[in-house]
Chains A and B, each alone.
Chain A
Amino acid sequence: MDVRLLRIDSRLLHGQVATNWAKAISVNRILVVSDRVAQDVMRKTLIMQAAPPGIKANVITVEKMIRIYNDLRFISIKPMILVEDPVDAKRLVEGGIKITSINIGAISFDSSRVMVTDTIAVGPEDVKALKWLHARGIRLDVRKVANDSSKNLWKSLLDKGLVKDF
């Protein structure tokens, strides 16, 4: 399985933004990976409906994502993977999914999180996961759509004093 993009976006698959990505990096499948959404019939249906024409979207659990990634039967799938937060992204990488960079679109704010950029908020668990990913040399790439100029989230985290370089 050739993972074309791993994107963190708490809205997962929605609207034109995801379609824009899917077209820009030519994928044949959109995999929305979230334990929570996989149980939520309504959201699951909405997400599957929101897939761009010609590309199928599935909503699966983290465990299943790792299982099919390591299953040779699914070798021909070239997916864009969408996860809700850095914690799920970390679980995927731990499970063996190989990538060199993670795209971060938006992480929505809640009371446990602080804003790092205008669209990204992180909490302590997120920071832990992002540190872990950074330590493995994975680039934390901030872009809304494919042709935006890329920013490094690590730099923003440093600026905010949430992480330290050694």
Chain B
Amino acid sequence: MTRREKILKYLEKYTTSESQSATTKEIAEILGILRPNVSKELNQLVREGRVKKMNGRPVRYFILKLNGGQADEPFEQKPTVGFAGSTVITSEVENDALNSEIAETADVFTNMIGAHDSLKNQTEQAKAALLYPPHGLNTLIIGPTGSGKTYFANNMYQFALGKEIIAKKGFTTFNCADYAHNPQLLMSHLFGYVKGAFTGADVDKDGLIQEADGGMLFLDEVHRLPPEGQEMIFYFMDHGTYSRLGETAKMHHADVRLICATTEDPESSLLQTFVRRIPVTIQLPTFDQRSPREKLQLLQRLLTLEANRIHKNIRLSEDVVQALLGSVTYGNVGQLKSNVQLVCAQGFLNSMQNKKEISLKFSQLPPNIKDGLSHLANNRHELGKLTRLLEPVMIIKPDFNRGMPEIDSYELPYNLYEIIGDKAALLKDEGLNQASINNFIMTDINLHLKSFYRQGKLDKTVNSLNEIVDQEIIDLTKKIQRLLQEKESYPLRDSFIYAMSLHISSFIKRVQSGKALRNMSADLISMVHDYPDELRIAGKIKDLIEEHYRFPIPQSEVYYMAILLVSLRSEPKTGKVGIVVAAHGNSTASSMAQVVSQLLSVDNIVAYDMPLEMSPKIALDGIAAQVKNIDRGNGVLLLVDMGSLSTFSSKLSEKTDIHVKTIDMVTTAMVLEAARKTALIDSSLDIVYRELREFAGYSRTIGKVQGENNYSPNLPDQKNKAIIAICSTGEGTAKKIKELLDKILIDNLIDDITVITISVVRMKKQIAEVQQKYQIVAATGVVKPKIAVPFISLENLLQGGGESFVGLIEQVNKRDIHSVDSLENSELLTEETAQKYLSQYFTFINPVKITKILWDYSDFVQQHGHFEMSNSFRISLIMHLAGAVERYLTRSEMSVDEQKLSEAQSDKMYPIIKQANEMLYETINIKLSDDESYYIVALLNTEKEKSNTLKK
């Protein structure tokens, strides 16, 4: 029996009227429960209307006899939310859902605010992902702080339960940020560990993954997962198996639906891996992006939640509604929830005497929430729409069918109202007057809520930037960024920090080294003339820099800054590669395109249906129109269903002047993959094309030959190659990029590419000049020039350490290097390949006979030594072993000194090699010497060392 039940039972038995009442003290003594606890329960019961409190001292309580009704819910239940007056603005959908229990259980999403509006796509995506055969698709939810990621994930879970897609009830949540500073601990929580894996691991323990077997696992703030964890999660996603800490083989199996969530910008490099590996990405809207109607519905639902808690109606005036809606700045629905809690707590306190209702008055709101009204007033359009929906007074009534508290990070871990009630009673007992009680408790509420506010973690990683730019400048740039965003509402791209801090850095260095100031050309002045806004803002930036460094900044610099701003603004997000799906049949292509664009909510796919009787000429024109339609400057990928269509690409390019690459296989899976790959920024057509060819898994000669011939711009061109680096002046940032690229080029032994710096001001002319002498193969910098070459953004160049550039250059140089990945995954590496290599390089051994034996040897080492072997390492090992065998046959074995040998003999791989050698002896009567064994062990260790450094 709970405490509450004990007290209720006592009261029912002994205190049935005013004359038979009891004090808190009496109850506490008789039932043996601590007095404060009794007081708390009694207050709760009084609030629920089940117990009556008598005035006077000490306070006496007695049970209220109800007229046969249920005591628990003393308030009427319908109509639920409404305004004073008759207008009810709950959406029809919601009413439908409420009126019919069946509808509600059939699809929980229907009940979600915005499910048919701003969250329509998202809910469709979620359903599609969950229902995707056979096991559904793992999902990544992206949204800013407080946009409702946990809530959404929870609904996905409820949906999956309702549809019986998941076997077991269970929604396990894990916040990756909790242990972000202790990767080991994090991993052990997630994957479990075996006894002895680390100090204190006394027993084997299952991790959350095992716990979630058959259910759903929600990984919040997944971008905080350390690299090791990511690797294991991805492995788990692909194979369904994992290992616990301290185990080498991944032999545990779990059937878990994964939902990941993050606040990270999906275009940040941190997230790229996730976006690449997780098939479905759901982007939640910010609070601002929602319609006024939805905002109001959200507010009502949150208020209902509070009304349920306090069992009173909540009455609020129009301006309070507006202030609350306007008070949401960065924290979205989560912030709204916190703010609602704050004002309700305050209202509760102020209306303590009123049993039926609490009233929220504008004059009593805390200042930061009052500000919301003026914030909202700034947006006339929005305010107008909202006002039309509002009545002078809104009344929210408790409703238990709706607004049940969810478990999320915005939910207080305790009942705030109980605390207020108890505390107010206590203070009143102490004899304080109402004003000081209110004052006292308000401070308290603020403290509670403040300590609870979870602020978004806005620290973006700029680590590689601060290797080239002083932290001081980065900080200054951030300050400038804030100024521009808050005061000027100037739209900035993500690359602002990079471009601006590099610009400032080079300017400061220039001033400090006493170099001549840049002069202002007529070109520059006339260009800036067209951008008065930017010039004005550049002036403000100048003031900030002057204030920081305390030296005057010449007007010319302001002009260059303005140019930089223009280029940072004028470039929209790099256009995605477009996709055109063309297939025979009346609707084959369009239905595939529709499925994919819905599933991934992408907008870069169009279809072209070709009825069988359509003439090729018409088809060509039609496809050309679609290619033009979807091109965003980065080329178009054409997916066709028949080989003959692939010959179109050259004609299409002629017709449209747009790069087109053709893949002559189109399945829904292929379109899905293409959409996923092109969704990433800076995915170039060539890269997507190459990756997709591998995805299909077989070579297609027609498409390949066609494609290569048409689009290698350098084929007839014998000019020297050049990369252009662009910044506002052509001197500061661009020079830095040039240094960086030169280093990369040298490091990769590339001697036939020159890096040329270019200023935004005279970009067109300069590029034309460069093109006279050089063949431009790539571009990088603060702005993307309008030429048909791959462009790598500054962030990618700096963060990726230029590796992507090298890949690009390799491609340009027509040394089509297969990535290591493709080699690792390829089926090419079989015994036959090994045999081919052996026959090429060895004299005395018979490759036909030895290959199988050495293959088995490496299998043995892999299994017994728990040594994970990449395909290429396996070939290395087999080659080495063949060498050892041949050296044995020619009696020219390698030798090693005693000390090294004895070191190797204590190696844990040594006995395994010995055993493997034994196998060799049994089959072909060849006994490898200890010295040769040393070299085999050394080879294994070198490989291990290498894979370890790679991981770091």
A residues apposed to B, CB below 8 Å: 10-11, 14-17, 19-20, 31, 38, 41-42, 44-46, 49-50, 52-54, 56, 58, 60, 64, 67-68, 71, 73-74, 108-109, 115, 118-119, 121, 144-145, 147-148
Contact = CB atoms under 8 A, between A and B. Distances in A.
B890 A108 contact: no
Nearest to A118: B890
Nearest to B842: A108
B820 A45 contact: yes
7 contacts: A46-B823, A49-B870, A50-B872, A52-B946, A68-B751, A119-B886, A147-B897
B741 to A, nearest CB: 13
Contact of A46 (B747, B876, B894, B945): B876
Interface string B871-902: 01101110110010011001110110100000
Closest 4 CB pairs of A and B: A15-B880, A109-B843, A118-B890, A53-B946
B841 interface: yes
A144 B742 CA distance: 37
A49 B820 contact: yes
Contacts of B876: 14-15, 46, 49-50
Interface stretch (B42-50, B255-263, B935-943): B935-943
A73 B751 contact: yes
A58 B746 contact: no
Given A42-B828, A46-B876, A49-B820, A16 B938 contact: yes
Given A42-B823, A45-B817, A58-B749, 6 more contacts: A14-B879, A15-B879, A16-B939, A45-B818, A49-B876, A108-B840
Contacts, number: 98
A71 B746 CA distance: 10
B157 to A, nearest CB: 44
B892 A119 contact: yes
B571 interface: no
A60 B815 CA distance: 11
Interface in B313-328: none
B942 A19 contact: yes
B748 interface: yes
Interface in B899-943: 935-936, 938-939, 942
A44 B872 CA distance: 11
A106 to B, nearest CB: 8
Contact of B894 (A38, A67, A145): A145
A73 B746 contact: yes
Contacts of B936: 16
Nearest to A110: B843
A14 B872 CA distance: 11
B816 interface: yes
Nearest to B938: A16
Nearest to A144: B894
Most B CB contacts (10 A, CB to CB) among A16, A31, A56, A115 go to A16
B841 A11 contact: yes
B828 A71 contact: no
A109 B841 CA distance: 8
A74 B751 contact: yes
Contact of A15 (B747, B870, B887, B939): B939
Contacts of B877: 15
Contact of B942 (A42, A46, A52, A145): A52
Interface string B857-876: 00000000000001011011
Nearest to A45: B823
B887 to A, nearest CB: 8
Given A46-B872, A46-B875, A58-B748, A14 B880 contact: yes
B949 interface: yes
Most B CB contacts (10 A, CB to CB) among A49, A67, A121 go to A49
Contacts of A42: 818, 823, 828, 833
A22 B820 CA distance: 23
Most B CB contacts (10 A, CB to CB) among A67, A119, A145 go to A119
A5 to B, nearest CB: 18
A121 B895 CA distance: 22
Given A14-B880, A144-B894, A67 B945 contact: no
A49 B873 CA distance: 8
A53 B940 CA distance: 12
Contacts of A11: 841, 879, 883
Given A16-B939, A53-B949, A74 B746 contact: yes
B237 to A, nearest CB: 26
A149 to B, nearest CB: 10
A42 B876 CA distance: 13
Contacts of A44: 817
A16 B949 CA distance: 18
Nearest to A16: B939
Contact of B751 (A14, A46, A54, A67): A67
Contacts of B939: 15-16, 19
A119 B823 contact: no
B273 to A, nearest CB: 22
B751 A71 contact: yes
